[in-house]
Amino acid sequence: MNEHKRQLKEQLADIEHQRWAHWQRYCHSKMQTQSSPLGVVLPFDLYEHWERQINTPYAELSDIERQSDREQVDRYWPLIEGLIEQVVDDFMQALDGHVLPQEVAHKLAALNGRWRQPGSSNPAPSEG
């Protein structure tokens, strides 16, 4: 694994740990800590709620539940965007002014809205 990939993997692992710690703090805040032979107890209504979510495909979750998952992706998104921009920039440098087939230009524009065909003042159109 090259150094860039290793660093990216470490950054993603750091975000994953932050995400997990955030979730655990939330779960622990919902648990009842009174003296009990069972120790710490999760209220049954939360258990049922989370069990339903565990067994529900993403596409079938409510809008609010999906938004919560999107907010977790937001932790990773800047790294993904940066990687896409770097790949597109590296690719454009490698082209050294050559014009791309229109289909390829459209796909690059969809990945990175600021990309332009060499010699063009307008961004390549994005795929719709």
At 67 the three-state DSSP class reads helix
Mean pLDDT of 93-103: 79
At 117 the three-state DSSP class reads coil
Burial of 103-115, coded b for 16+ CB within 10 Å and e otherwise, reads eebeebbeebeeb
Sequence length of the chain is 128
Segment 9-56, tens digit of pLDDT: 889 899 999 999 999 999 988 887 766 777 788 889 999 999 999 999
Lowest mean pLDDT among 52-61, 68-77, 111-120: 111-120
Q: Please state whether the predicted TM-score (pTM) of the whole model is above 0.85.
A: no
**pLDDT at res. 1:** 76
CB 128 within 8 A of CB 101: no
Residue 86 has pLDDT above 70, yes or no: yes
Burial of 63-74, coded b for 16+ CB within 10 Å and e otherwise, reads eeeeeeeeeeee
Residue 120 has pLDDT above 60, yes or no: no
